[in-house]
Chains A and B, each alone.
Chain A
């Protein structure tokens, strides 16, 4: 939909619109599997990079880069860091993976979140990373190899129907979506129309059902998208709760975010809207993200 359609649900809409017209800065995360934050930042600063760190997190906004693309360095090729938007780092943080667990990333390519999860558990877990597209799986495998995440097993299949032959402690469903939250990074010719939102929404619901099947009792799932339309977000989570059997959990995270949308085009999301969160670009200069935490 046209971004104006979200005027009533996105707070400080004028500021939102203003920031959407500016280029999105790059963010990056140090790959602590290979190097310490202190050492890498010193090396890159020596080369002329300047960073703004988010609090004491492993999340750095690149405010000055001596090369056009900040990944054009030896350090990047050696797997010492990963270029990843701040908003995209939030779903794994909400997932809270632990060492020794079995974790499924259902739509994983190109692997920003998979490799972040691997770093969070110090490469000591079983991480199954799945995607449907061959070309994107190659990119995923390339990133997994570059960062040195040996705990990752890659599978190829349709997240709506694939059987993984095991159950998991945690699942990340970073679902395919219309991507309205990444247009600052990847501009496009036209906005998605209602039909596309509905098409994705249905696909996402099937994926949620399959996630439930693969989660052990008491296990948790993070559902995330990088789009704004409630049909792909709150609506899917409402379905997950009402029809699939998930229980929505409160998300405890210390970043600027908005609560979910309570009502949208005659649909009401009572019971879940105040648990899910929305990260908007005009808060700390990122892309956009929707995140829900659900328990089986």
Chain B
């Protein structure tokens, strides 16, 4: 979260646990001593490197001050649909928080100047949405 300049007072509200292929963020204070299915919300995926999840960025991303890409409404929609957006990354590289003026859209990746959408399928809009 340092990468995004999210203040410690925000991140400090959560406890982070590594299990399975992820790091989970929770505000629960007692963890039951039985097998659990989920523990709060997955904040990072571990697959070689650490990748922030869209779901967690949608919670804390509004506090990000670094590595943030602002999109207008129409490129925001293309981003959600999974398109590559050109000309918005500047000199940023790696994972970024992608947002519009009002909404945190989720996780993107800046690579060679292109913004590549990391929005999981379940959050991609259907053509019937308004």
Does B126 touch A at the CB level, under 8 Å?
A: yes
Does B55 touch A at the CB level, under 8 Å?
A: yes
Q: How far is the CB of B26 from chain A (nearest CB, A)?
A: 5
The answer to whether A148 and B58 touch across the interface, beta carbons within 8 angstroms, is: yes
The answer to whether A153 and B130 touch across the interface, beta carbons within 8 angstroms, is: no
Does B123 touch A at the CB level, under 8 Å?
A: yes
Chain A residue, CB-CB nearest to B26:
A150
Assuming A163-B34, A165-B33, is B28 touching A74 (CB within 8 A)? no
Total residue contacts A-B, CB cutoff 8 A: 98
The answer to whether B32 and A128 touch across the interface, beta carbons within 8 angstroms, is: yes
Q: How far is the CB of A42 from chain B (nearest CB, A)?
A: 11
**Stretch in A138-146, A176-184, A283-291 touching the partner:** A138-146
The interface residues of chain B lying within 8 Å CB-to-CB of A7 are none
Q: Of A68, A142, A150, A164, which contacts B40 at CB under 8 A?
A: A150
The interface residues of chain A lying within 8 Å CB-to-CB of B103 are 74, 78
Interface residues of B (CB under 8 A from A): 14, 25-42, 55, 58-59, 80, 103-104, 122-123, 125-126, 128-130
The interface residues of chain B lying within 8 Å CB-to-CB of A127 are 28
The interface residues of chain B lying within 8 Å CB-to-CB of A149 are 41
Beyond contacts A144-B41, A153-B36, A155-B35: 14 other A-B pairs, Cβ-Cβ < 8 A, are A48-B130, A73-B129, A73-B130, A77-B123, A102-B30, A125-B27, A127-B28, A144-B38, A148-B59, A149-B41, A150-B41, A151-B26, A152-B38, A166-B33
The answer to whether B128 and A126 touch across the interface, beta carbons within 8 angstroms, is: no
Q: Which of A47, A66, A150 has the most CB of B within 10 A?
A: A150
The answer to whether A72 and B128 touch across the interface, beta carbons within 8 angstroms, is: yes
The interface residues of chain A lying within 8 Å CB-to-CB of B28 are 125-127, 150-153
The interface residues of chain A lying within 8 Å CB-to-CB of B42 are 145
The interface residues of chain B lying within 8 Å CB-to-CB of A74 are 80, 103, 125, 129-130
The answer to whether B32 and A166 touch across the interface, beta carbons within 8 angstroms, is: yes
The answer to whether A124 and B26 touch across the interface, beta carbons within 8 angstroms, is: no
Tell me the complex Cα distance, A78–B31, Å. Answer: 27
A residues 101-136 with Cβ under 8 Å of B? 102, 123-128
The answer to whether B26 and A153 touch across the interface, beta carbons within 8 angstroms, is: yes
The answer to whether B55 and A145 touch across the interface, beta carbons within 8 angstroms, is: yes
The answer to whether B40 and A72 touch across the interface, beta carbons within 8 angstroms, is: no
The interface residues of chain B lying within 8 Å CB-to-CB of A102 are 30
